[in-house]
Amino acid sequence: MCVQCRLRGAAGCLSCELGFYKSAPGDQLCARCPPHSHSAAPAAQACHCDLSYYRAALDPPSSACTRPPSAPVNLISSVNGTSVTLEWAPPLDPGGRSDVTYNAVCRRCPWALSRCEACGSGTRFVPQQTSLVQASLLVANLLAHMNYSFWIEAVNGVSDLSPEPRRAAVVNITTNQAAPSQVVVIRQERAGQTSVSLLWQEPEQPNGIILEYEIKYYEKDKEMQSYSTLKAVTTRATVSGLKPGTRYVFQVRARTSAGCGRFSQAMEVETGKPRPRYDTRTIVWICLTLITGLVVLLLLLICKKRHCGYSKAFQDSDEEKMHYQNGQAPPPVFLPLHHPPGKLPEPQFYAEPHTYEEPGRAGRSFTREIEASRIHIEKIIGSGESGEVCYGRLQVPGQRDVPVAIKALKAGYTERQRRDFLSEASIMGQFDHPNIIRLEGVVTRGRLAMIVTEYMENGSLDAFLRTHDGQFTIMQLVGMLRGVGAGMRYLSDLGYVHRDLAARNVLVDSNLVCKVSDFGLSRVLEDDPDAAYTTTGGKIPIRWTAPEAIAFRTFSSASDVWSFGVVMWEVLAYGERPYWNMTNRDVISSVEEGYRLPAPMGCPRALHQLMLDCWHKDRAQRPRFSQIVSVLDALIRSPESLRATATVSRCPPPAFARSCFDLRGGSGGGGGLTVGDWLDSIRMGRYRDHFAAGGYSSLGMVLRMNAQDVRALGITLMGHQKKILGSIQTMRAQLTSTQGPRRHL
Ligand code: ACK
């Protein structure tokens, strides 16, 4: 039989024409060549792929020829310390195939080298580096303060057949500062009856200069009851004062100015058993030997005119070593953190004492230098541009440890940054008021730059209120504001202008006492994420700043009063963002035109009036802090004055009403606003498809979503999840405000 027959009959066999093929004998007709293929001659058994098109090994001859995909699109990165999350959208041209997967190529580009190099085996890719099916990836274990370049290639079943380079989307990032990685190798060097010597390796990723190591140890199974810590500046230490014949657990971690790394795996060591008891004959023999030895020694010493005591010869060898280590150069290898005062000489931890330059004359006399060894950092509680904030304990001789917050300047600072950073301490050190954060001291020796303050259990006021939305009585809220007002009255009496008073810069302790914080030269300029550059130069937290200070940089106690009014609004609105999602430009122009923030839900009229007074256009007409405190005191004394609530409106001025969702209209909620409009308004439009795929077709449905629902849509970036959930919450609040006032307990 003629396999290429188009027709069989009297004329015999007619071969398939050009553009047709027949792959196997049979009665079927010749088939047209599939897309992107052709037959080079009549009677073709298969069609060849056009130039730049291919057929994968398992593709049947009847399938279209395909080509490699184009590059993925919309690659976005989100850096978190030394990890980065990458997300992208599929290529616009999948090459005619549905088997597109992605590979990640990681290259790091050290500042010192003019070229990039492969990232190395330590880098972790989650879920994997190649053959990714989903369009996102987490890359972890990167080096801190390093430039990286990530290439995301799209490949399909024919990519390997093409000689063309693969198409990739590229993103360049710089990692941030991070705590050191875990100490992984820890060894026992020696174990005596009462001491254990340890040796370990520097963590693989120090991510900065290692300031010290912390050795935590405890009797096995007794960690909960008590544990002790030692500090070491090298990678070995001897732990003394242990019980003989006891099993101990040891863990080591490194600390840099970025904070502490994770503790190493636990290592168990048993101290030596007590010496066995000797029989009488042995004891007599030992005594005789000792007496003979002593007599000889005495004679020798008398001959040498006795210039040192010999009792040390009977001391525990470890104790002697410890004494030596703490008394001689080079600097001590380790230091017990909780040793009783007076037992050991006060250690000089860092060899080069360094005095920092003060920004004014006042400086040094208002700050107290704290030995780094007296601070025991336990965890990182926050971070800013200039470094991390840690929770720790400060050892005070003869007293119980004091919980403290430690602000550490990040590694790689310039001399100016260090001076500005420490200026906060020299300013704070001059204040002494129950509503101003108290300075415990500074650590400035060597390369260290830390500010140690009292610890405020409930953190910053804005975050605290957001997590306790609606949970306080009006009286409690007014009490908090009274504290902030009293702190500000004290500062203004001293002639100090804060310039960045905002709920985020007020800290709350366990008794709900609010204290003003964040002083110093660098804070407004660098650290405040809400500060924006203005045309008059410098960075200003627009939403909190009086118009004259924005326009002419005329900061004064009266401009602090304006900011206090905004803090009042933040407190009554439980941490809501002032002016919602209006842009800074819109805030400036609407305030200029006379718009003022409306009363938050359930806000007493008297409090909103006080806010409006603080926002008087003419700064001379604004109340002084002393008057503000008096008004708040009067309100606290007569609670009935707080009963009348102001008229509620949660909307920005009409010109910017786009950001105020009218949720009353329409059965689905949202009054005609689509899910897409809403996502666009919060700059999350990239997730339109996610919401559509999840079946969320109206804002009414979106309003019922919770965190789990948002994650289920495949939105992996934490920041984006938060943004979306925050906006949903705001919309719900707007809806509630149109239905009735917030209930204060
Ligand atoms: O809201 P938070 O927990 O409170 O997160 C921020 C973070 O550090 C960065 O500023 C917290 N923080 C700052 N100073 C202190 C302090 N003295 N006591 C407790 N937390 C503090 C703040």
Residue type at 145? H
Catalytic one of 420, 462, 500, 530: 500
Tokens found for residue 510 = 């366990």
Tell me the pLDDT band of 653, cut-offs 50, 70 and 90. low
How far is residue 604 from each of residues 138, 640, 646, 738, measured CA to CA in Å? 48, 10, 6, 17
Residue 476, pLDDT score: 93
CA angle 612, 614, 615 (to 5 degrees): 65
Q: Is the dihedral of CA 265, 268, 269, 274 positive or negative?
A: positive
Q: What is the mean pLDDT of residues 689-716?
A: 88
For residues 46 and 59, is the Cβ–Cβ distance under 8 A? Answer: no
CA-closest residue to ligand 1 atom 21: 459
Closest CA to 21 of 46, 55, 41: 46
CA-closest residue to ligand 1 atom 7: 382
Distance 192 CA to ligand 1 centre (A): 43
- Distance separating alpha carbons of residues 513 and 507, to the nearest angstrom: 8
Q: What is the mean pLDDT of residues 15-41?
A: 88
Q: What is the mean pLDDT of residues 312-338?
A: 26
Distance 504 CA to ligand 1 centre (A): 9
Distance 389 CA to ligand 1 centre (A): 7
Tokens found for residue 431 = 């204040």
Which helix (H) or strand (E) segment holds residue 229: the answer is: strand 228-232
CA-closest residue to ligand 1 atom 15: 405
Residue 672, pLDDT score: 58
Residue 528, pLDDT score: 56
Statement: residue 617 has pLDDT above 50: yes
Tokens found for residue 522 = 């660098």
Closest CA to 111 of 177, 174, 170: 174
Contacts 24+ apart (CB under 8 A), 345-349: 346/371, 347/371, 347/373, 349/212, 349/231, 349/233, 349/373, 349/445
Closest CA to 379 of 288, 504, 262, 549: 262
Give the range with max mean pLDDT: 219-233, 510-524, 627-641: 627-641
CA angle 462, 463, 469 (to 5 degrees): 85
CA-closest residue to ligand 1 atom 14: 405
Distance 554 CA to ligand 1 centre (A): 29
The pick from 456, 511, 530 for probing ligand 1's pocket by mutation, whose C-beta has the most ligand atoms within 8 angstroms, reads 456
Three-state secondary structure string covering 326-349: HHCCCCCCEEECCCCCCCCCCCCC
Residue 704, φ and ψ in degrees, nearest 5: -90, 5
Q: What is the mean pLDDT of residues 684-693?
A: 88
141-152 as b/e: b if 16+ CB within 10 A? bbbbbbbbebbb
CA-closest residue to ligand 1 atom 12: 459
Residue 381, pLDDT score: 92
CA-closest residue to ligand 1 atom 20: 459
Statement: residue 349 has pLDDT above 60: no
Closest CA to 408 of 436, 354, 463, 447: 447
For residues 663 and 671, is the Cβ–Cβ distance under 8 A? Answer: yes
Distance 406 CA to ligand 1 centre (A): 9
Q: What percent of the chain has pLDDT over 90?
A: 39
The pick from 393, 421, 460 for probing ligand 1's pocket by mutation, whose C-beta has the most ligand atoms within 8 angstroms, reads 460
Half-sphere exposure of 478 (CA within 13 A, CB side): 27
Tell me the pLDDT band of 10, cut-offs 50, 70 and 90. very low
Q: What is the mean pLDDT of residues 127-145?
A: 89
Distance 469 CA to ligand 1 centre (A): 19
- Distance separating alpha carbons of residues 345 and 664, to the nearest angstrom: 73
The pick from 377, 385, 389 for probing ligand 1's pocket by mutation, whose C-beta has the most ligand atoms within 8 angstroms, reads 389
The pick from 507, 510, 514, 518 for probing ligand 1's pocket by mutation, whose C-beta has the most ligand atoms within 8 angstroms, reads 507
Distance 459 CA to ligand 1 centre (A): 5
Ligand 1: atom nearest CA of 459 is: 4
Q: List residues near ligand 1 (CB under 6 A).
A: 381-382, 384, 389, 405, 437, 453, 455-456, 459-460, 463, 507
Ligand 1: atom nearest CA of 453 is: 17
Tokens found for residue 734 = 């707007």
Statement: residue 544 has pLDDT above 90: yes
Ligand 1: atom nearest CA of 504 is: 1
Tokens found for residue 659 = 């950001």
Residue 396, pLDDT score: 84
Statement: residue 1 has pLDDT above 60: no
279 labelled catalytic: no
How far is residue 70 from each of residues 30, 103, 135, 169, measured CA to CA in Å? 33, 13, 14, 9
Q: What is the mean pLDDT of residues 354-361?
A: 34
CA-closest residue to ligand 1 atom 5: 382
CA-closest residue to ligand 1 atom 2: 459
Ligand 1: atom nearest CA of 384 is: 9
Statement: residue 675 has pLDDT above 60: yes
Ligand 1: atom nearest CA of 457 is: 19
Q: Is the dihedral of CA 262, 267, 268, 270 positive or negative?
A: negative
Distance 507 CA to ligand 1 centre (A): 7
Residue 29, pLDDT score: 87
Residue 630, pLDDT score: 95
Distance 407 CA to ligand 1 centre (A): 9
Distance 326 CA to ligand 1 centre (A): 35
**What is the reported pTM?**
0.48
CA-closest residue to ligand 1 atom 8: 382
Instruction: Give residue 119's region: left, alpha or beta (phi > 0; psi -120 to 50).
Output: alpha
Instruction: Please provide the average confidence, as pLDDT, over all residues in the chain.
Output: 79
Residue 524, pLDDT score: 44
- Distance separating alpha carbons of residues 451 and 521, to the nearest angstrom: 14
Size of the chain in residues? 745
For residues 16 and 119, is the Cβ–Cβ distance under 8 A? Answer: no
CA-closest residue to ligand 1 atom 6: 382
Distance 657 CA to ligand 1 centre (A): 35
- Distance separating alpha carbons of residues 360 and 504, to the nearest angstrom: 27
The pick from 378, 379, 381 for probing ligand 1's pocket by mutation, whose C-beta has the most ligand atoms within 8 angstroms, reads 381
CA-closest residue to ligand 1 atom 19: 456
